[in-house]
Chain A
Amino acid sequence: MYSQKKLIVSHAPFIHDGSRVNTRNYHILLAALPALLMGLFQYGIPAVGVAALSVSSAILWELAINILRKSEKTIGDGNAAVIGLIFAMLLPATVPWWFVITGTFFAVVVGQQIFGGIGSSPFNPVVLGALILFVGWKDYFDFNVALVNYDFGFDAIYPLTALKSFGPSGIQGFTPGDLLMAKQTGGIGSTFGLGLIVGGIYLIIRGIIRWEISLSFLAGIFITALIFNIVAPDQYAGPMFHLLSGYTLIGAFFLAPEDSSSPVNFIPMLIFGFVGGFMTILIRNIGAYVDGVLFAILLINLLAPIFEKIRPKALGKVD
C-alpha cells in the first residue's frame, strides 16, 4: 500500500530568503577592510602582526571552547574572526603578543562563549575584552607611549590626549580633513574616518547593521558636544572634532550596532544610540578618561534590556 519512496517531511515555511549568519559576518569583515588596510599601511609590519594574531587567536579561543564543550565547531561562521578583527582595530600597533591573546580571550571566552556563544552576549565582546585590558594594563593603551617610535609626518599626539591636556587650543592642528584621512594617531583601524564611514554605509545599505543605532549614536555625540561647545567654547572642542577622533566612528558603525547586545525596536534603538553618544561626550569632557566610547557602549549594553521594554503593542493584545 505504501510506496517505498521516502520524502523529506519538515515544517513550514518551505522557502527561505537565503540569508545566513556567516555571509553576514563576512560582510562585516569586508566592510572593516578599508579602515584596517589604511592602518596596516600606516603602522607597518607590527600592525600586520597584531591584526593577524588577533584574528587567529580569537578563532582558536572559540575552537578551544567548542572542543571543551564537545559542541559543533562554529568557527566557520566568521563570528570569532569579526571579534578578532575589530578588536585588533582598537589596539595600538605595538602591543606585545601576550596582550593580544589575553584580549581575545576576554573578548571571545569571557565576553561571549561563557554566556552561550553567538547571540547570547549581553555586552559587545570586543568592548568588554578591550576594556578589561584597558583597566588592567592602562599603559599599553596609551597611544602616545605606544607609537613614540613612529615618524608619521604629522602631529603624532593622540588627538583626545591633546584635548584633555591642553583644551581646544591643543587640537587646532587637526582639521576635519586630516582626521578623515587618517592623519591622526590611534588604534590600528580606528583612525581612517573615511574608510570607517564607507564601511558603515555599506553595512547599513546591506541591512547588516541597524542604521537607527549608528545615526543616533553620532547624533548623540554631535548634539552633546555642540551644547558643551556653545556653553564654553574655550574649554570644550567642537562637535566635528569629537565625531572624527578617537573610537567614535568605529564605535558608531562596528561596536554599538553589534547584534546581540543592542535593542531591535525602533524607539529603543534611537535611545540606545543617543545615550551612547551622550555618555561618550560626558566622559570625554568631564570624566577622567580621554576616550569614553568603550565605557559608553558598555553602559548602553547594560541598559539595552530596559530600553527594549518600550515596544509596540502586538496585534490583538489584551491588556
Chain B
Amino acid sequence: MIKKSFIGLVKPRIDYTVLTDLDPALIDVSKPSQVKLLLESPLEKVNGELKKGDLLKTGQLVSMAKDVFATSPVTGTVSGISGWAGDFGRSYTAITLDVAKDEEFDEQFSGTAKEISLESAIRYLSAVPGSPPLKNFKHPDVDIHTIIVNAMDEDISVTTNQYVVQSRLKALKSGIAAVGKFTGINSIVLVAPERLAAVASAAGIEVKVVGSQYPSAQPKMIIKNLFGQVVPAGKKPENLGYCFMSAEAVASIGNAISTGKIPTDKILTLIKKDGSTTLVSVKIGTPVAEVFKACDIEVNEKDRVVFGGPLTGSAIYSEDHPILPDTNAILVQDKDNIPLVSNYPCVNCGECIRICPARIQVNMLVRLLEAGHYEEAATSYDLHSCIECGLCSFVCVARIPIFQYIRLAKYELDRIKLAEAEYV
C-alpha cells in the first residue's frame, strides 16, 4: 500500500486509480444458491407482507415498511426473516431467499417502464445496482436543480463506475434521458476523469472533467471545484440543489427502462490481499463468501473484509454479509497487513493540518473529540466542515483514529438533535 515518501517535506499526494485497461476482465458471480435482501428498517417495524415459504419473482417489489423499497434480485422462496445489525447502530431486516431453479420475471414493472412516473421510479428503481437516491426528488425540503452523475469512484483503488461508463455508455446515455424525463430536471452533468470524459463527451453527454488527486471526486469537492459553490458546513449538496448519482445507478436505470427488466447484477472492484484489483459482476444479495470463492481468495481468521474502499469503507463482521446495491468495492486484508490504531495522544506534528482538504484544525479538533466535547468541536473547530475523506487518519503519526472520532461525534450530535426534536 501507499507509504510515506523519504522526502517528507512535500505534501503527500494520493491519486484515484484511473482505469486505463480498455477491456478489463470481469469475473461473473451471478449464480448464488441463496441471497439475502437487506431492508433499511428494523425487524420490529416491518409489516407481515412476506412470510416464510412465500415465493418471490425476479424484480418483484418488496415493500415491508413505509418508504422502504427493494426488488428481489432472484426468483426464490423466503426461507427466513431476521434482524441484521449494521454500522453506527443501524438495524436492518434481512430476508433470506433460497434461489429456485427456473427464473421467472415479475411483470409489474415492465408494463409501466416506458412511461414511468417519479413515484413508481422511487418504488422500483431505488435499489438497482448503484443505489440512486431517488427519494431526494420527493423530499419536501430540497429543491434539486442539477443532477451530477459521478463516474469517478468515491475511493482510491476503486474503478467500478469508471468501468460502467466505459463499457455501458449506451445504457448510461439512455439512463440520463430517462432520469431527466421522470424527474423533470434538464441539467444533468457527468463528472469523469479525463479519458472517460472525452469518450462520454463524444457520445453527446454533458461532461465536466474531475482531477485525479484524492479527494477531488468527493461530492463537496466537486461542487467547490467544478461548480464554483461551497456547501456550507453541516449542509448536504442536496441543500444547494445538487443531487449526486453514481454512473452505475444511471446506467442501471437506463437498462431497466429500455429492457423492462430491473437489473440485478452489481459491478464491484475487488481489492485483493496483495493490493491487486479485479472487477466482478455479482448478483445483489449474494453472500460475500461466494465472491471470494469465485475469485480464489482465502479469508482466514482475523483477516479484515471491508465494504467500500481503503480510505472510507466500513468493515464487515461476517462472510455471510450480502452484496448491497451500493457496494462498489470489497477490500480484503491479510491479518499480518492490518495497520492498527494506537491509544497515543496527538503529538502536534501538523501532518493532518497539511493534508486536510477542508482546512480544519484537526490537531485541536481531535483533542476535543477525545474528551467527548462534541458540541464545542462543532462550534469552535469546524467539525461539520469535514468532508470525510479519511486522509487525517491515514497520515497520523500517533495513529489516532481521527476519522472515526469525527464520524462518532457527528453521529452523537445527530442523535442529540433527534432526541431534542422528539422531546419538544
Hey, which bits of chain A sit against chain B, CB under 8 A? 1-3, 5-21, 24, 72, 116-120, 204-208, 210-211, 259-260, 262, 264-265, 311-318
Contact = CB atoms under 8 A, between A and B. Distances in A.
B363 A207 contact: no
19 contacts: A3-B319, A7-B303, A7-B317, A8-B304, A10-B338, A15-B394, A17-B2, A17-B395, A20-B397, A21-B347, A72-B343, A118-B345, A119-B344, A208-B8, A265-B353, A315-B233, A315-B359, A315-B385, A316-B232
A11 B310 CA distance: 10
B7 interface: yes
B345 A5 contact: no
Nearest to A121: B348
B416 interface: no
A298 B348 CA distance: 17
B348 A17 contact: no
Interface string B225-241: 00000111111000000
Interface in B1-34: 1-4, 6-10, 12
B397 A21 contact: yes
A5 B345 CA distance: 33
B218 to A, nearest CB: 11
Contacts of B314: 11-12
Interface in B378-398: 382, 384-385, 387, 390-391, 393-398
B359 to A, nearest CB: 4
Main secondary structure of the interface of B (DSSP, over half): loop
Interface in B395-413: 395-399, 401, 403-404, 407
A264 B395 contact: no
Contacts of A118: 344-345, 347
Interface stretch (B242-250, B259-267, B294-302): B294-302
A9 B233 contact: no
A15 B2 contact: yes
B3 A318 contact: no
B315 A10 contact: yes
B306 interface: yes
B311 interface: yes
A1 B84 CA distance: 12
A9 B335 contact: no
B320 interface: yes
Contacts of B133: none
A155 to B, nearest CB: 38
A259 B397 CA distance: 12
Most buried by B among A10, A13, A21, A314: A13
A203 B289 CA distance: 47
A229 B76 CA distance: 91
A10 B301 contact: no
Contacts of A211: 9
Given A211-B9, A315-B224, A316-B385, A11 B403 contact: yes
B233 A120 contact: no
